[in-house]
Structure 1
Amino acid sequence: MIGRLLPSLILSLLVAGCGDHSMFQQNRYATYSKAGLFRDGAEAQTFPDGTVAQGDLERNRQAATPPAVDTALLSRGRERYDTYCSPCHGLSGRGDGMVVQRGFPAPPSYHTDRLRAADRQHFFDVITNGYGVMYSYAARVEPRDRWAIVAYIRALQQSQDTKVSDVPELKSKLP
C-alpha cells in the first residue's frame, strides 16, 4: 500500500512546488533602485579595482599598435569605409556622401590641407570618440578595423591629387 502511495505523494509534492510563484519570477532589484543588500544602499555597484572586462586588454593592445599596411588591410579598410564612412564622407572622401545629399551637415573633405597634415592617430581618435555631429564608432568598429579605415583614408588622400609620374611602379615605365 505504501509502495503505491509513495509515488503519488512525491508527484503531488513536485506539482505543488511548481506552482510556487518564485520559480517563475525571481526576486531582483530594478536598475538604479535602492538595495539594502549592499553597504552603500545602491543596486548599481562599481567594479572592484583591477577588474578588466573580457577582451578589453586585446582591444586596448590593438588600439595602441597600428598594424602594418598591406593589401589585405587596405581591402578591409575599403570595405569598412564603404559601410560606415561613405554615407557621409562619400566614396572619394570629399564629404559629399548620400546622407549629405539629403540635407545632413557635410563633414570636412579628407583632401583639405589640415586633414592631409593630420597624423593617423587623429583619424583613429575621431572614429573612436566621434567629432562634431559624428558619433563614436567605438562600439561598432573594432580597433583593427579602425586602423584599416585610417589606412584606406590615407590611400584616398594619395589617390585624389597624385600625378601619374609620382606612382612608383609607373616611374620606370614612363619615357
Structure 2
Amino acid sequence: MKARLLSSLILCGALAGCGDHSMFRQNRYGTFSKAALFKNGSEAQPLPVGVVAQGDLARAEAAGKPPPVDMALLSRGRERYDIYCSPCHGYSGRGDGMIVQRGFPAPPSYHSDRLRAADAQHFFDVITNGYGVMYSYAARVDVRDRWAIAAYIRALQQSQHVDVADVPELRSKLP
C-alpha cells in the first residue's frame, strides 16, 4: 500500500512538470525586430509623452542651480579636476596635460580671454555635454562635482591672473 502511494505521488509530481515550458522557453523579440503586437509593427517602442526617468527631476534641478562656493566645494573641485581634467588641460589649466604631450590635440587654455569671460554655466555645460574632441562626462562626474570643477576652474583662472598688489600678504612670501 505504501509503495503504491509513493509511486502515485512520484508519478503525479513527474506529470505536473511536463506540460508548461513557458518559464524555460519564452518567446521574445530581438532588438528592432518586427512585432505584430504593436500598431507600428516595431518591437522598440517610443516612451510615452511626459515620461521622466526616476531621479531626473532632482538631477535637473541640481544642474540648474550651482551650490554656494566654499572651501569644501573648491577642495572637492580640485580633487575631481586633477582626476578628470588635468590629463588634457594640465594642472595649471593651460591645455598642456600629459595626454597633449603625447600627441592628443590641445584643448584651449582656461586663461584665454574667451574662457575667462565665460560664466560657470559654460564650464558645467561643457563637462556635461562635451565640446569638440572632448566627450561628455555626464555619466562619469556627478552633478555637484561638475559644479565643484567649474568653481575650481574659476579659482584657477584667478590664481594665474592675480596682481600682487591685490594680495599684500603674498608680498612677504615672494623672493
**Coarse TM-score class (shorter-chain normalised):** 0.7 to 0.9
Structure 1 residues 31 and 167: alpha-carbon distance in aligned structure 2, compared to 1, 3 A threshold = farther
When structure 1 is superposed on structure 2, of 117-126 and 99-108 the one drifting more is: 117-126
When structure 1 is superposed on structure 2, of 58-67 and 76-85 the one drifting more is: 76-85
Q: Secondary structure at the match of 1:109?
A: coil
Match of 2:14 among 7, 12, 16: 12
Identity %: 71
Report matched runs for 1:11-160 at 5 Å.
Answer: 11-14=13-16, 16=18, 20=21, 22-160=22-160
4+ residue segments displaced more than 6 Å: none
Amino acid at match of 1:63: A
Once the two structures are superposed, residues 111-167 of structure 1 have per-residue CA deviations (whole angstroms, 9 ceiling, x without a partner) of 111111111111111111111111111122122111111000001101112133323
Structure 1 residues 110 and 10: alpha-carbon distance in aligned structure 2, compared to 1, 3 A threshold = same
Q: In 1, distance between residues paired with 2:24 and 2:9?
A: 25
When structure 1 is superposed on structure 2, of 132-141 and 5-14 the one drifting more is: 5-14
The TM-score normalised by the length of structure 1 is: 0.88
Query: How many residue pairs end up in the alignment?
Result: 170
Deviation at 1:17, TM superposition (A): 5.6
Q: Secondary structure at the match of 2:155?
A: helix
Q: Secondary structure at the match of 1:62?
A: helix
The TM-score normalised by the length of structure 2 is: 0.88
Residue number in structure 2 paired with 1:167? 167
Q: In 1, distance between residues paired with 2:53 and 2:167?
A: 45
When structure 1 is superposed on structure 2, of 158-167 and 46-55 the one drifting more is: 158-167
Once the two structures are superposed, residues 20-47 of structure 1 have per-residue CA deviations (whole angstroms, 9 ceiling, x without a partner) of 4x43343211111111111111111111
Q: In 1, distance between residues paired with 2:164 and 2:62?
A: 35
